[in-house]
Amino acid sequence: MPWSPALTEQPHWLRHWHAAISLSQQAPLWVSLSQPDSVAAMVERVHAAHVNSPSVYRHHRCWTLLLWQPVYASLAAVHDAHALLPLDGLQQGCQHGSVYGVRELPAQPSALPLSVRITEQGQHLQQFAQQAQTLLQRLLPLKSKSLWGLLADLLWLGLQAGWHAARDADAWYRYGQDWQQAVLAQQPLAGRRDLIFLNQQQGWRMQRGSCCFHYLTEDGELCEGCPKAQHKTATLKQTA
């Protein structure tokens, strides 16, 4: 049966984060790191959906698609469900050349202090990313520094998405630093990333540290905060 929004539901603790992360029992393809063939099938579908885009974009797109839901759901579980979220056996829906929806999110309520939850969930995310990296690098020519840089950007983008005016801006920024340390300690990182606070209503502006190569697609658009936009601006200033 085709995927339908009517067949999905979203845990209440995810509602501030992303509407596409919902629970569903049906998808054309379920992707799980415990089933390497499903990851290979996802790669084929993503490549087919972006056949007119350069391979460097398609390759990195596979990485971000595989990681974005675990990142956002981990942040939401820790901060809004006061829980930890095991990622072993996570099954993600692949449809229309993208990845969204999950079969289940078994968040486990935790009385641990927030700082400890960040550390423990960060370790879950790091292990998930390491396994994903191993599987994808068997299939695609991907460099570790680029992958972990994109993952760092995903963490900050997730915090940007989960912001609302009831949160404390200074604390939220510190949490981002804690998450990056927990997930990416001792990993190779390219570029410098940051969140810049605008105000309580507008939230944050993201400065990315790594490029996802979306500008090479038919749309030809640079992402908000793309490091290549910074480089272009610096070059124009030098030649002015």
Distances (CA, A) of 34 to 95, 106, 134, 141: 19, 17, 12, 21
Specify the pLDDT at position 171.
96
% pLDDT > 70, the chain: 92
> pLDDT tens digit string along 28-70?
999 999 999 999 999 999 999 999 999 999 999 999 999 999 9
Q: Model-level pTM?
A: 0.89
Indicate if the pLDDT at residue 186 is higher than 90.
no
What pLDDT shows up at residue 238? 35
pLDDT in tens, 4-37: 444 468 999 998 899 999 999 899 999 999 999 9
Averaged pLDDT, 85-97:
95
190-204 pLDDT tens trace: 777 888 888 877 888
